A and B are shown apart, each in its own frame.
Chain A
Amino acid sequence: MTHFDIQSIRADFPILKSQVNGKPLVYLDNGATTQKPLAVIDAIRKYYTEQNSNVHRGVHYLSQIATDAYEVTRRKVQDYLHAEHAHEIIMTSGTTQGINMVASSFGHAFLQEGDEVLISAMEHHSNIVPWQMICEEKKATLKVIPIHDSGELDMQAYSGLLNERVKFVAITYVSNTLGTINPVKDIIEEAHQYGIPVLIDGAQAIQHLAIDVQALDIDFLAFSGHKMYGPTGIGVLYGKEKWLDVMPPYQGGGDMIKEVKFEKTIYNELPFKFEAGTPNIEAGICLSAAIDYIEAIGLANIALYEAELLAYATKALTEIEEIRLIGTAREKSSVISFLLKGAHPYDVGVILDKLGVAVRTGHHCTQPLMDRFDIPGTVRASIAMYNTKEDIDALVEAVKKAAMMLL
């Protein structure tokens, strides 16, 4: 693992020097949120000391500074995703808002009674519930693409579910619980044969894999800033211009209008049509610093490093006899979910925390997926670019100790 200087990367993340319960912090809950590099922390300070003002409104100097900085992020995201237009980048509060926006706006415009929407069995609640809500309202049917025991999508079943009644497909790129990387290119190609648009939940992919929305022909992509080393409260919805143009606004308010009369309001053009109200300006501006940070190291280098780390962790954990891995897809990214035979994931999490190892336990907001495997939850370790083999060794030692205490 000599692709990049891991010690210098770690030095950029001040929180990694913390002690937890008298032990050095081993942070393996990156699927929930990532830690922030100094560049992002400094940008936040800079925003409030030099740039704070409302955006897209004032003619005064500061407002222009803030607006320019905010729009720099939009163009950075455009480049990061290789989107055709900057106005296809809608700033949101996070993945959840992005998906709700599409479900509501697309659903109100295009869903009718008897139509179908497809999601997969491994979706996060935020890519299930918005679709349930709009389907209920429009008397449409939500259908679920099943998965194999390995945690891979049943592509044959997917093909079988596609037909003229299906109006939308919403699916995750990387499963937050299983780590499965879905074959989104194939999924999109098949859907497009029926003219069906596809939303990709990129929450667990954006910080690990290069995503080219044009090459993949993605119609919508939603993700969060805080899972890609950026601030909390900012996210992105990418949408193809041709779809965003024909969808009604999600919320009404300031910024999203061109002209308001009591008789009728003319909506603003993209992207502002979908950006009602004062956004999270600070987080929007500082997301730039996170993208710069990732790009300076290189997503390809990060992916390679993380893949080696995941392989190392998988091998080391599998050597513990009592471990059962949940999610054994051939293509995986950054997530390793497991159960310690007979022990409740909550108990394992408590012991690991005592040993300074931060993991997530529970259903990971994927209750239907837990039901699919007939388990109450899992212990999930999720890695980021700053994790090391030593972190994995600490996890393995902690799991062994938990096994000794609990089994």
Chain B
Amino acid sequence: MTINEIQDELISDFAFFEDWMAKYEYIIQLGKELPLIKDEYKRDDLLIKGCQSRVWLHADYKDGKVVFSADSDAIITKGLVSLMIKVLSNQKPEDIVNADLYFIDEIGLKEHLSPTRANGLVAMVKQMKLYAMALNSC
């Protein structure tokens, strides 16, 4: 599936939630399910510092695609990280670099991607694109 196909699927998934609580319960659930990053990658040089919650991000390159794994110490952030990974992992570097991540806005979670939110998420998306950019130029 392309990045946009995955985004559209998430948007229609989220349309089923009747209120914010159901939506957040789903995100929390995703956070709990996110496969943990291998311990060896949960180290300071892979840490993206938000002011409040922290995110670890690791990228692998397999068969022309970037595979991301990540973790966060806050469960809601982790759930959002999980959504980002669903959308951007296993994609070609150039597609990641050029991705327009409109789904966050569409599913009503825009506030979490505000640069002042201090949860590390904006920095993580930037870092994902930087990884892809580095691989793309190889």
Q: Which B residues, 88 to 125, have Cβ-Cβ distances below 8 Å to chain A?
A: 118-119
CB contacts (< 8 Å) of B77 on chain A: these are: 344, 346-347
- Asked if B127 CB lies within 8 Å of chain A CBs, one says no
Q: Which of B20, B28, B52, B54 is A345 in contact with, Cβ under 8 Å?
A: B52
Bound Cα distance A376, B47 (Å): 15
CA distance A343 to B52 in the complex (A): 13
Number of A-B contacts (CB under 8 A): 44
Which among B21, B54, B76, B119 has the greatest number of chain A C-beta atoms within 10 A? B76
Report B44-99 residues with CB < 8 Å from chain A CB: 51-54, 73-77
A406, B52: Cα distance in complex, Å: 17
Whether A163 is near chain B, meaning CB under 8 Å from some CB there, is no
21 contacts between A and B (CB under 8 A): A344-B53, A344-B73, A345-B52, A346-B74, A347-B53, A347-B74, A347-B76, A350-B24, A350-B76, A351-B24, A354-B20, A362-B52, A363-B51, A363-B52, A376-B54, A376-B73, A377-B52, A405-B25, A405-B28, A406-B28, A406-B75
A67 within 8 A of B: no
A21 in the interface, Cβ–Cβ < 8 Å? yes
* In contact, A346 and B53 (Cβ under 8 angstroms): yes
Tell me whether B74 and A405 are in contact (CB under 8 A): no
Q: B114 to chain A: closest CB distance in Å?
A: 12
Q: Whole-angstrom distance between the alpha carbons of A318 and B111 in the complex?
A: 31
Is A387 close to B, CB under 8 A? no
A104 at interface, CB cutoff 8 A: no
Chain A 336-353 near chain B by CB (<8 Å), digits 1 or 0:
000000011111011100
Q: Which residues of A contact B (CB under 8 A)?
A: 21, 343-347, 349-351, 354, 361-363, 376-377, 405-406
- With a cutoff of 8 Å between Cβ atoms, the chain A residues found around residue B21 in the complex are 354, 405
Contacts of A349 in B (CB 8 A): 52
User: Chain A nearest CB: distance from B78 CB in Å?
Assistant: 9
| A343 vs B24: C-alpha distance when bound (angstroms) | 14
Q: A362-B51, A405-B28 are in contact. Are A347 and B20 (CB under 8 A)?
A: no
Minimum CB distance partner of A343 in chain B:
B75
A349: nearest residue on chain B (CB-CB)?
A: B52
4 further interface pairs, Cβ-Cβ under 8 Å (given A346-B76, A347-B75): A347-B76, A347-B77, A363-B52, A377-B52
Within 8 Å CB of A377, what residues of B? 52
The CA-CA distance from A345 to B54 in the complex, in Å, is 12
Q: Mark B6-28, 1 if CB is under 8 A from A, else 0.
A: 00000000000000110011001
User: Bound complex: CA of A222 vs CA of B96, how far in Å?
Assistant: 50
Q: How far is the CB of A119 from chain B (nearest CB, A)?
A: 23
For residue B75, which residues in chain A have a CB less than 8 angstroms away from its CB?
343-344, 347, 406
Say whether A346 contacts B24, CB under 8 Å.
Answer: no
Closest 4 CB pairs of A and B: A344-B74, A346-B74, A346-B53, A346-B52
Minimum distance in angstroms from A297 CB to a CB of chain B: 34
Q: Complex formed: what's the CA distance from A349 to B50 in Å?
A: 15
- Chain B residues contacting A362 (CB-CB under 8 Å) are 51-52, 118
Per the bound structure, the CA–CA distance linking A343 and B53 in Å amounts to 12
Residue of A nearest to B53 (CB): A346
By a CB distance below 8 angstroms, the chain A residues around B28 are: 347, 405-406
Q: What is the CA–CA distance of A343 and B75 in the complex, to the nearest angstrom?
A: 8
Contacts of B52 in A (CB 8 A): 345-346, 349, 361-363, 376-377
**Could you say which of B25, B28, B75 has the most chain A C-beta atoms within 10 Å of its C-beta?**
B75
Task: Report how far A349 CA is from B76 CA in the complex, Å.
Answer: 11
State the CA gap A346–B53 with chains docked (Å): 7
Could you say which residues of chain A place their CB within 8 Å of the CB of B74? 344, 346-347
How far does the alpha carbon of A347 sit from the alpha carbon of B74 in the complex, in Å? 6
Nearest-Cβ distance from residue B115 to partner chain A, whole angstroms: 16
Smallest CB–CB gap between A49 and chain B, Å? 33
CB-defined contacts of A21 to chain B, threshold 8 Å: 20
- Bound-state CA distance A351–B23 (Å) is 11
B125 to chain A, nearest CB (A): 18
A21 to B52, CA, bound (A): 22
Q: Smallest Cβ distance from A345 to chain B, in angstroms?
A: 7
Which residue from chain A places its CB closest to the CB of B72 in the assembled complex? A344
**Minimal beta-carbon separation of B124 from chain A (angstroms):** 14
- CB-CB under 8 A from B51, the residues of chain A are 362-363
CB distance from A397 to the nearest CB of B (A): 13
Please name all residues of chain B whose beta carbon is closer than 8 Å to the beta carbon of A363 when the two chains form the complex. 51-52
Instruction: Give Cα distance in the complex from A21 to B74, angstroms.
Output: 22
- Chain B residue with the shortest CB-CB distance to A376: B73
User: Which B residues are in CB contact (< 8 Å) with A343?
Assistant: 75
Choose among B24, B25, B77, B119 the residue with the greatest number of A CB atoms under 10 Å from its CB: B24
Docked pose: A406 CA to B77 CA in angstroms: 12
Instruction: Kindly report which residue of chain B lies nearest to residue A401, judged by CB atoms.
Output: B21
